[in-house]
Structure 1
């Protein structure tokens, strides 16, 4: 007797041989056969690693390891890797060399962004140009790091090193936004005056970061006892920095209030609220470190906070406009690939 008729398999229940369930295969395909989603994922990875190396760079400074590797590109005059040196602590050498090694991770993510942008179908010029900024900026940052060492941690070169990282974070975030949206003209999601307020906020936050760099170059935690300092009054610089904090918090509160009153899209309101919370937490850290005579741990935490404020500011401003969905992929589906095999 014939048994019950079996249900015909459909494409939804049959795993095609073209599927790649293995994690390594998915990882490789994320940049070799990218989608808009995986391209955005690599951009977010670039944001994370650039922010991470910024924070670890601060750790190098507050631990006094700025000249842990006293030469560049070598760690010591006769070796690219740490070796015992009579004038350098092994711990300081390990901290500085570890930060140098992180550059290769950041560079690898940058190259992955370029490959993904180049292989994206359809290829998008704006995404590719932003992706190319990653390895170019990282190489420039590494070369500038060599200048930092060769100038014995001059506060100007150290400060520019931090600001270059700030620029790379901004480029990474814009790469993420462009990969997540279409190529049409930007469409305002809020009143144009609120967009302008957002641009003013970005400028104010950047000015705040520059002021923080000057304060750092004037105060303690230079990275090494041999490092020079800006010939400025630390109290005056700290007051200027605090004044800019008040300005940034005021602008953020005004933007958040205006977004709520105008019934702006929820993502924009949530981004502005998150920014305000991060700024207030950063302010608490800043005042605490000031009254506790600037302990090293809180300085590192403050650098982390400033990096998060910068990212949250970029997120807030870019949430005020949209360009639609990214272009549909022209890559054939697994079913089409199987049918033509």
Structure 2
């Protein structure tokens, strides 16, 4: 019997055959891929840690949209008490004065809060069990369950004040803050813990910061417009005592400022030959802003239909996420202990 391998076997066989069974590491995880992803918070890797952080961004953006659905469907008091849906039941039950559809929509929005909390807890567990543990990620991850708890308590205040426009406005802005914390976790989980190093010209960096501030101001004025407009969440809810035309025009003016700053930033990034991720982030933000502008003007001229209001809230959330992406794309953090080399734009500025 010949002891030589055939050419086919030599090609298809393992390139480095193990000398014995002890040299072969067998996998003990026989769970389906989906189950492994869902429970990856217990045995996290840097990649799965970042995946959970991205999931937190998605679910926190989603709950802002579900909150808008509650408002435009007049379901804000579908569950008239908190934390119970009705005075004598945690779950929705038939009520002679409340539409079952409105009750289901409001209760569904409350259930989304638990999904957001589950993802937040998964982020905390991933950060705490990641090896080596990174304190920066643990601190950022803890902001999520703490913020969600504060958001839930504020939701009770919204119900108890009969959808007072100030409490409703703050409800949205708290979500915006949570999204910022989630994005910070996502960005930090993909980089090291060394000091921040800008990858754009200092003037361009400052322009990015101004853009983020302008977007935040746009969102603040946007909730004032919402609190003055027709979609209050319930016929019993009060409204801001502002002239809707005036606040809507102010909102539009700020939108022009944001688009102008975004275009200026995109131009500056191309002129200074900034890294491609930063240029792509700025271009994506500009596209989102233009689409959001089309939605905004369409809903204004059509009399603010409910569907477009919900779509506009989604667009507002995407604009905020896009602005956060732009700012984080303008700087990096190297792995701890690795010497930082200046970026081409920094070298040019220093020269």
**Normalising by the residue count of structure 2, what TM-score does the alignment of the two structures yield?**
0.90
Does structure 1 conserve the Cα–Cα contact (< 8 Å) formed by 2:194 and 2:337? no
Corresponding residue to 2:267 among 226, 232, 257 = 257
Query: Aligned residue for 2:230?
Result: 220
The alpha-carbon deviation at position 27 of structure 1 amounts to 2.3
Corresponding residue to 2:159 among 149, 158, 166 = 149
Cα distance in 1 between the residues matched to 2:168 and 2:133: 38
1:189 equivalent in alignment to 2:199: yes
Query: Aligned residue for 1:85?
Result: 95
Go from structure 1 to structure 2 and tell me whether the alpha carbon gap of 1:115 and 1:12 turns closer, same or farther (over 3 Å shift). farther
Cα distance in 2 between the residues matched to 1:78 and 1:148: 19
SS of equivalent residue, structure 1 residue 322? strand
The alpha-carbon deviation at position 114 of structure 1 amounts to 0.2
Go from structure 1 to structure 2 and tell me whether the alpha carbon gap of 1:252 and 1:113 turns closer, same or farther (over 3 Å shift). same
Corresponding residue to 2:182 among 172, 177, 197 = 172
- Listed as ranges, the matches of 1:64-75 within 5 Å are 64-75=74-85
Corresponding residue to 2:144 among 107, 129, 134 = 134
**RMSD over aligned Cα atoms:** 1.9
Corresponding residue to 2:48 among 35, 38, 41 = 38
Structure 2 unmatched runs, 5+: 19-23, 339-351
Query: Aligned residue for 2:343?
Result: none
The alpha-carbon deviation at position 16 of structure 1 amounts to 1.7
Query: Aligned residue for 2:348?
Result: none
The alpha-carbon deviation at position 192 of structure 1 amounts to 1.0
Aligned residues: 328
Does structure 2 conserve the Cα–Cα contact (< 8 Å) formed by 1:36 and 1:326? no
Query: Aligned residue for 1:61?
Result: 71
The alpha-carbon deviation at position 33 of structure 1 amounts to 1.3
Corresponding residue to 1:199 among 199, 205, 209 = 209
The alpha-carbon deviation at position 77 of structure 1 amounts to 0.9
Q: Residue deviations 1:255-302, cap 9 Å, x none?
A: 000001111111100100000010010001001111111000100000
SS of equivalent residue, structure 2 residue 74? coil
SS of equivalent residue, structure 2 residue 40? helix
The alpha-carbon deviation at position 324 of structure 1 amounts to 2.4
Does structure 2 conserve the Cα–Cα contact (< 8 Å) formed by 1:179 and 1:326? no
Cα distance in 1 between the residues matched to 2:168 and 2:15: 61
The alpha-carbon deviation at position 9 of structure 1 amounts to 4.1
Cα distance in 2 between the residues matched to 1:121 and 1:234: 54
Go from structure 1 to structure 2 and tell me whether the alpha carbon gap of 1:12 and 1:79 turns closer, same or farther (over 3 Å shift). farther
The alpha-carbon deviation at position 193 of structure 1 amounts to 1.1
1:268 equivalent in alignment to 2:289: no
Structure 1 unmatched runs, 5+: 329-341
SS of equivalent residue, structure 1 residue 70? coil
Go from structure 1 to structure 2 and tell me whether the alpha carbon gap of 1:48 and 1:326 turns closer, same or farther (over 3 Å shift). farther
Query: Aligned residue for 2:129?
Result: 119
1:97 equivalent in alignment to 2:97: no
Cα distance in 1 between the residues matched to 2:58 and 2:27: 34
Cα distance in 2 between the residues matched to 1:327 and 1:87: 65
Does structure 2 conserve the Cα–Cα contact (< 8 Å) formed by 1:122 and 1:327? no
Query: Aligned residue for 1:239?
Result: 249
Q: Residue deviations 1:115-159, cap 9 Å, x none?
A: 000001111111000000000000110110011001000000000
Does structure 2 conserve the Cα–Cα contact (< 8 Å) formed by 1:180 and 1:326? no
Does structure 1 conserve the Cα–Cα contact (< 8 Å) formed by 2:194 and 2:336? no
The alpha-carbon deviation at position 248 of structure 1 amounts to 0.4
